[in-house]
Chain A
Amino acid sequence: MKPRERVLRAIHHQPADRVPIDVGGTRQTGIAASTYHRLKQQLGLNTPTRVFDLYQMLAEIEPPVRERFGGDCVGLYRPDLVFGIVNEGWKPWTLFDGTPVQVPGGFQPQTEADGSLVIVQNGVPIARMPRGGFYFDRLEKFPGAAHIDLDGYRPPLLSPEVCAHYRAQSQMLYDQTDCAIVAPLGPPYELFYGLGTGDFERWMITLACEPDYVHRLYDCLVTAWLENLRRFADAVEDRVPILQFCDDFGTQQSLFLSVEMFRQLIMPHYQRGLDWIHTHTDMKVLLHSDGAIFPLIPSLIEMGVDMLNPVQTSAVGMDPVQLKQQFGQQLTFWGASLDCQKTLPYGQVAEVVAEVQQHLEIFAPGGGYVFGSVHNVQANVPPENVIAMYDTALNYCLE
């Protein structure tokens, strides 16, 4: 069975030859560049490691690695993935932990007196990585945090050049891989969490106190999103089966916001976009939301979410058996492999195998499951644990 068909069968809850696996098909199921580099050394691969996501310092997953672990998905991204830097003109770079990598030529951070790296755009610092750090963090204020004036506000639209890239790149991925293409294309800003980048508290207070403003901002963003969806769907035709959007609605202890606030403020706006997708395309919708979101899942399904990632089973209330029993018929779980904060970085190989096996036995039966790491594999993970994680899924036999 080809990877693409395997993924689609799983999503439609139909039998497949094995559980489909996502190795870096999204920016939330990827591998940190330094771990990826050490992983390749164990696999005997000596190719340069490219950092394709400079924000999270994620590696570009090369076909031999994806194939080695049975990866069935591949991501379709903008050419300027983050910070407006185009992924081209690769040059050598050394990460803070000493890992040799390649980065895009346009990556030219300034080094501050304390050793932090700062990305400056048009004279303004937009992101910083502290010395010894593993990520950049944004310094910009997104529209919710900035409480922007909505009069005359025009969110960014996909340019003809980006659409041409999507057209060509989706064709290339479709022709040259057998993988299911996953494309992230949510609203110009995540409606709940992302809009608060730069001043989350202020944005939360706005949500609590200014519902009219929030609805107007959302109307504006979702109108732009619908136009972007039209342009995207026209560019990729029927080559992309999975459309992803991201927003984090949970902490590890509970929801960030009440179900009532979600349903009143946020859900109607996301639903506009998801209704358009389901009415005008065959794409299925994958939501990435971390955290303890069990009480929100019925609303997410009602809103039009078909697949849920990363299924953080270590968060409060995210019991694997309950998730599968209550929502397994309506939802595809994407991720859910094991506890990536404890077992994957700090456990023994046998513990990784046991936990992955246990989760496979819960989530795999009846389809509706795509295996993947629970968020990106971080920089401190032993390569043998990564190998054990994927191999356990790859070798898992469906009844």
Chain B
Amino acid sequence: MPDLQELGEAIKRGDRDQSAMLTNAAIAAKVPAQEILDVMVAAMDVVGQRFQKNEIFVPEMLIAARAMKESLALLEPLLVDAGITPIAKAVIGTVEGDLHDIGKNLVAMMWKGANFDVIDLGTNVSPQKFVDAVRDNNAQLVGLSALLTTTMPAIKATVAALKAAGLDTAKVVIGGAPVTQEYADEVGADGYAPDAASAVNVARALL
């Protein structure tokens, strides 16, 4: 019997070789795909909690997310065969006028680690591009990021565009250096996440 607990530990430490090896071993031993996936997602939850408690930082979180991503790719065909789909479809991007993407990328990784299907639109994304992507993909979740006080108004414009397009059912989570809970309330966003780990919790609570 492959050691699923050790798979979780390998992901937490960001040991990509070990996590891939243990994922393959679990697959070979015919462990149900859902069981393997649950272990991986639980491991990433611990990574998120450690990040929030300042026990680990960006480099450690990134190597854990990389190990998760690679193991998930190995598992992908089995998930498809078993009819297991991601828990939500999410569209994410940095708003128009803003080219910063470090925070946005971290959120995208953590969302993927929580088994969301993430469509990353990149940076400098216009409100219309968000509207199109949410509609075309039937997304239930939207992530909007801005680093600058000068580009933060584009969050408001994007939220307004989504509402105007009748896409109110998609939950909008916003974040970025100048963004606050008060601002989220003001512009009508559904949630605010101060960091990448809490973006997972906020999204789960909204879905």
Contacts and interface: CB of A to CB of B under 8 A. Distances in A.
Interface stretch (A1-9, A73-81, A248-256): A248-256
A148 interface: no
Contacts of B151: 133-134
Interface string B166-205: 0000000000011010000000000000110000000000
Interface stretch (B23-31, B41-49, B91-99): B91-99
Nearest to A131: B97
A207 B62 CA distance: 11
A258 B61 CA distance: 12
A252 B63 CA distance: 21
A253 B194 contact: yes
A5 B48 CA distance: 50
Interface stretch (B51-59, B75-83, B132-140): B51-59
A135 B149 CA distance: 12
Interface stretch (A41-49, A198-206, A318-326): A198-206
Given A137-B100, A252-B177, A254-B54, A380 B150 contact: yes
A204 B57 CA distance: 10
A341 B66 contact: no
A261 B57 contact: yes
A252 B59 CA distance: 16
A345 B177 CA distance: 14
A255 B148 contact: no
A307 B63 CA distance: 34
Given A128-B99, A261-B57, A208 B62 contact: yes
A256 B57 contact: yes
Main secondary structure of the interface of A (DSSP, over half): loop
B73 to A, nearest CB: 17
Contacts of A188: none
A258 B56 contact: yes
A130 B98 contact: yes
Contacts of A204: 58-59, 62
Nearest to B194: A253
B31 to A, nearest CB: 28
A257 interface: yes
A208 B100 contact: no
B100 A256 contact: no
B96 A341 contact: no
Contact of B59 (A131, A134, A251, A261): A261
Contacts of B99: 128, 130, 133, 135, 137
Contact of A379 (B56, B100, B105, B150): B150
A114 to B, nearest CB: 9
B102 A200 contact: yes
Nearest to B15: A209
Interface in A104-136: 116, 128, 130-135
Nearest to A255: B57
Given A254-B57, A256-B57, A341-B177, A201 B150 contact: no
B60 interface: yes
A209 to B, nearest CB: 6
Contacts of B115: none
A380 B150 CA distance: 6
B109 to A, nearest CB: 8
A87 interface: no
A253 B151 CA distance: 20
A255 B63 CA distance: 17
Given A132-B96, A252-B177, A258 B150 contact: no
Given A205-B59, A208-B63, A258-B56, A130 B97 contact: yes
Contacts of B149: 341, 345, 378, 380
Nearest to A257: B57
Given A132-B97, A379-B150, A251 B195 contact: yes
Nearest to A262: B57
A279 B124 CA distance: 47
A262 B60 CA distance: 13
B143 interface: no
Contacts of B195: 251, 253-254
B113 interface: no
Contacts of A255: 54, 57
Interface in A64-97: none
B8 interface: no
A214 to B, nearest CB: 11
Contacts of B60: 208, 258
A324 B190 CA distance: 38
A341 B178 contact: yes
A131 B96 CA distance: 9
Given A132-B96, A201-B105, A258-B56, 19 more contacts: A130-B97, A133-B98, A133-B99, A200-B105, A205-B62, A205-B63, A207-B59, A208-B14, A208-B63, A209-B63, A253-B195, A254-B54, A254-B57, A256-B58, A257-B59, A341-B178, A378-B148, A379-B150, A380-B150
24 contacts: A130-B96, A130-B124, A131-B97, A132-B96, A133-B99, A133-B124, A135-B148, A137-B99, A137-B100, A200-B102, A201-B105, A205-B66, A207-B59, A208-B14, A208-B59, A208-B60, A251-B58, A251-B195, A252-B177, A258-B60, A261-B57, A261-B59, A341-B178, A380-B149
